[in-house]
């Protein structure tokens, strides 16, 4: 069975990615500037771990890559091997990055505002690096079957305007992420980050309840923020709880935040017949993973997940883009 995915690149190096695909028959991906970021034996993360989800791609699966061949088109690419087995890691000697290499071939390309694109268009604007598109399988197969010339036609002035607008968003995505994070980091500190994240998560997940729960009772449950996800099969006030501890740290971290949020495991209100604790997270606003390997191991032993500084940069970008769509 064929599966369909979106795959985003660093558009500031478009010609490099295009040449790699057309001449060498593979897709490159960023966050691959250190030998320790090899996904088969990763010792340095700094964002590389998010590429591991790409290993689910099988031979024959289809990937849509916005802005790969030109700013206003989407390339259709086919995996020529299972990504998990065909993957290799070779840092480009000139750009000093993009070491992740996946086997693939060019199929066709289309303008975003082609009449066949339909509901697929909104999904192509997602800021995520890699995402599923199986819901649009029929549309994608129609695009593959259509004559290439018809897919590249420019219909009217409105479409041309929208294509220019979207291509600019893509071109400055990485710069926007960096500036957004840097501005946020300079404007907010310590407990202020709790308010920032509550506001952002509410915008990102309007159907969930996102609450700041710090204060005196925090010593009992260890969380600054909780996300309450309604149970889909009950009609009462039953929730799955995600507990989040936020620390405005930027260096080596002790185990305190992990022990703190782990109190949620024994907090009765989140572990009764009505509510269930689903996940525990620690947000470290400025910390780098490679400086905190012991912290990471201890978190794993306590079933606590971590958002590092670079992860927060991505999250803030997703929130900002979601709010503008």
Entry pTM? 0.58
pLDDT for 65 equals 94
pLDDT confidence tier of residue 307, bands split at 50, 70 and 90? very high
Give per-residue pLDDT as tens, 125-170.
777 889 999 999 999 999 999 888 878 776 666 666 766 766 677 7
- Dihedrals phi, psi of 282, to nearest 5 degrees: -120, 125
* Crossing angle of helices 309-324 and 173-187, rounded to 10°: 110
Q: 27, 8 in Cβ contact below 8 A?
A: no
Q: 38, 49 in Cβ contact below 8 A?
A: no
Walk me through the domains of the chain, giving residue ranges and CATH numbers.
4-154 (3.10.590), 176-324 (3.40.1350.10)
pLDDT for 282 equals 96
SS3 content of the chain, % helix, strand, coil (to 5): 45, 20, 35
Percent of the chain whose pLDDT exceeds 70: 92
Q: 241, 276 in Cβ contact below 8 A?
A: yes
Cα–Cα distance, 138 to 172 (Å, whole number): 31
Q: 144, 76 in Cβ contact below 8 A?
A: yes
224 vs 11 pLDDT, higher one:
224
pLDDT for 47 equals 62
Give per-residue pLDDT as tens, 241-290.
999 999 999 889 999 999 999 999 999 999 988 899 999 999 999 998 88
Give per-residue pLDDT as tens, 12-21.
888 999 999 9
Give per-residue pLDDT as tens, 87-107.
999 999 998 889 899 999 999
pLDDT for 108 equals 94
Query: HEC string of 217-261?
Result: CHHHHCCCEEEEEECCCCCCCCEEEEEEEEECCCCCCCCHHHHHH
- DSSP-assigned beta bridge partners for residue 75: 65, 109
What lies within 8 Å, CB to CB, of 263 at 6+ separation is 219, 220, 221, 222
Across 9-34, average pLDDT:
89
What lies within 8 Å, CB to CB, of 273 at 6+ separation is none
pLDDT for 235 equals 65
Q: Is the pLDDT of residue 306 over 60?
A: yes
Q: 311, 45 in Cβ contact below 8 A?
A: no
Q: How many helices (H) and strands (E) does the chain have?
A: 12, 12
pLDDT for 111 equals 85
221 vs 122 pLDDT, higher one:
221
- DSSP-assigned beta bridge partners for residue 245: 282
Across 180-209, average pLDDT:
92
- DSSP-assigned beta bridge partners for residue 89: 100
pLDDT for 160 equals 65
Percent of the chain whose pLDDT exceeds 90: 54
The per-residue pLDDT of the chain, averaged, comes to 88
36 vs 324 pLDDT, higher one:
36
């Amino acid at each position: 069975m064929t599966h369909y995915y979106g795959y985003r690149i660093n558009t500031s190096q478009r010609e490099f990615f295009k040449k790699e695909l057309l001449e060498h028959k593979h897709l490159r991906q960023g966050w691959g500037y250190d030998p320790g970021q090899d996904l088969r034996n990763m010792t340095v993360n700094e964002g590389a771990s998010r590429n591991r989800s790409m290993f689910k791609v099988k031979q024959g699966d289809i990937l849509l890559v916005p802005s790969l061949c030109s700013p206003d088109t989407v390339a259709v690419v086919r995996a020529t091997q299972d990504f998990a087995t065909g993957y290799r890691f070779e840092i480009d000697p000139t750009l000093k990055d993009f070491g992740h290499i996946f086997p693939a071939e060019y199929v066709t390309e289309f303008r975003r505002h082609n009449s066949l694109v339909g509901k697929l268009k909104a999904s192509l604007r997602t800021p995520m690096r890699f995402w599923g598109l199986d819901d649009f399988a029929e549309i994608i197969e129609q695009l593959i079957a259509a004559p290439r010339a018809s897919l590249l036609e420019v219909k009217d002035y409105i479409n041309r305007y929208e294509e220019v607008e979207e291509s600019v968003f893509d071109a400055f995505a990485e710069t926007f992420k960096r500036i957004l994070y840097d501005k946020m980091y300079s404007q907010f500190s310590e407990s202020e980050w709790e308010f920032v994240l509550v506001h952002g998560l509410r915008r990102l997940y309007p159907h969930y309840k996102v609450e700041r729960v710090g204060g005196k009772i925090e010593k009992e449950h260890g969380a600054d923020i909780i996300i309450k996800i309604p149970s889909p099969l009950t009609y009462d006030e039953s929730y799955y709880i995600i507990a989040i501890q936020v620390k405005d740290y930027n260096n080596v971290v002790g185990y305190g935040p992990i022990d703190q949020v782990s109190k949620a495991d024994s907090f009765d209100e989140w572990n009764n017949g009505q509510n269930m604790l689903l996940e525990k997270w620690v947000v470290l606003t400025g910390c780098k993973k490679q400086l905190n390997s012991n912290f990471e191991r201890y978190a794993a032993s306590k079933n606590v997940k971590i958002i590092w500084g670079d992860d927060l940069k991505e999250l803030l970008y997703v929130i900002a883009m979601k709010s503008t769509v």
